[in-house]
Amino acid sequence: MGDVRVPADDSRAAPADGPRRRLSRFDPAVVAAFGCVAIVLFVGSLYSTSFLSPEYLLQQLKVASFLGVIATGAMIVILLGQIDLSVPWVVAVGGMMATAATGWGSLGEALAIPVGVACGIALGLVNGLGVAFLRLPSMVVTLAVNAVAQGLMVVHTGGFSPQDASSPAMRFLATGHSVLGIPNALIVWAAIGAGAVFLLTRTTFGRTVYAIGNRERAAYLSGARTRLVVMAAFAISGALSAFGGVLLAGYASKAAQAMGDPYLLPAIAAVVLGGTSILGGRGNYLGTVAGVILITLLQSMLSVMQMEEFGRHVTYGIVIIAMLLIYGRGRRHSE
């Protein structure tokens, strides 16, 4: 039912004043998501003013970058109306293969990041093959690929956390600071985010992604090469998940089993909280940014407030439901 809606950009912006109107018009869901960020910060500041200090906020943005990179990939797939459940072990594959490459010597050290990302692309292409050409539900294909990735890594590492350390370049990207003390990880996320915005709003690929999310049959009949676009979207998602793993390995200076497990659900939650429809075809990258910041702040503040772990899980779940009930509801049958 939500799938017959045309993306907001197309339906309302007249060609003549398109760019200007696009700037002046805000997606209500994005505004609501940023409003929630402000509310969370306000409530936090009642507890302790240190939640508003630049150091704390910058630190949180740095932590949010890892989730942000992974959520970018998740968003592109969700815009298609599909879902990528292979995130956990593709993240681990990225981290583990990058650290393993570092162990091969100086050439490997230089190639660590590309190797990690390439492995992610390969797994993403398998996902895309299953979804686009074998026409299988993405939920099961990506689940199966996740299981295979886990199996490969268990065989590769012997079931233990690998001993290889991450390369200096990985550590530089994940933990270093550049001009004005801005964390490199944040710059990386900003660059990837800018790339995603360009891809989604200014290229044929992005238009086709939205079109497929609305109705793949219509996109196909309009001459879009939908299957290749779906494959590419899954490859991008795999690459970004693996790159997130590379960054995480750089941050912790080594890779670990199950390092990607805590990222699947927050990534999906961040995308959906940002106003992207889980049915596909509707969504704005700015919303995902808000969702990522929201999830990260929520997790961090609840632990700083020394709430017990069970309370954090309960609050986390209730807040997500509550926010979605406010602005993420579907439509009635009669509409």
Partner 1 sequence: MSGDWSYWLREHRGTLLAFAAFVAMFAVYAANHPAGLNANVATTAANKGVLLAIVAMAQTVVVLTSGIDLSVGMVMVLANCLASTIVVGSPAATALGVVGVLATGCLCGAVNGVIVIYGRLQPIVTTIATGSVFYGAALALRRVPGGDIDSTLADALTGQLPGGIPASLVLLAALVVTVWMPFRRSALGRAAYAVGSSEVAAYMSGVPIRRAKFAAYMLSGLLASMAGLFLTCVTYSGEASAANGGSYTLYSIAAVVLGGISLFGGSGSAIGAIFGALMFRTIGDLLFVFNVEPLWQPLFQGVVLVAAVCLGSLRLLRIRNRLDLYG
Q: Does 145 bind partner 1 (CB under 8 A)?
A: yes
Q: Which is closer to partner 1, CB of 85 or CB of 113?
A: 85
Q: Does 216 bind partner 1 (CB under 8 A)?
A: yes
Three-state SS annotation for 144-163: HHHHHHHHHHHHHHCCCCCC
* Cα angle 273-214-210, degrees, rounded to a multiple of 5: 70
Burial label, 127 (beta-carbon count in 10 A; 0-12, 13-18, 19+): buried
Q: Does 84 bind partner 1 (CB under 8 A)?
A: no
- Could you give the CA distance from residue 164 to residue 175 in angstroms, rounded to a whole number? 18
**Chain centre to alpha carbon of residue 263:** 9
Which tokens belong to 56?
């704390």
- Those residues with Cβ within 8 angstroms of residue 178's Cβ, 6 or more apart along the chain or in another chain: 184, 187
- Could you give the CA distance from residue 120 to residue 123 in angstroms, rounded to a whole number? 5
**Chain centre to alpha carbon of residue 94:** 15
Q: Does 122 bind partner 1 (CB under 8 A)?
A: no
Q: Does 4 bind partner 1 (CB under 8 A)?
A: no
Q: Does 222 bind partner 1 (CB under 8 A)?
A: no
Rule CB under 8 A: choose which of 14, 46, 135, 306 binds partner 1: 135
CB of 188 to partner 1, least distance (A): 27
Q: Which is closer to partner 1, CB of 43 or CB of 318?
A: 318
CB of 335 to partner 1, least distance (A): 11
Q: Which is closer to partner 1, CB of 226 or CB of 237?
A: 226
Which chain residues interact with partner 1 by CB under 8 A?
A: 1, 83, 85, 130, 134-137, 139-141, 143-152, 154-155, 158-159, 216-217, 219-221, 226, 258, 261, 265, 268-269, 272, 278-279, 308-318, 320-321, 324-325, 328-333
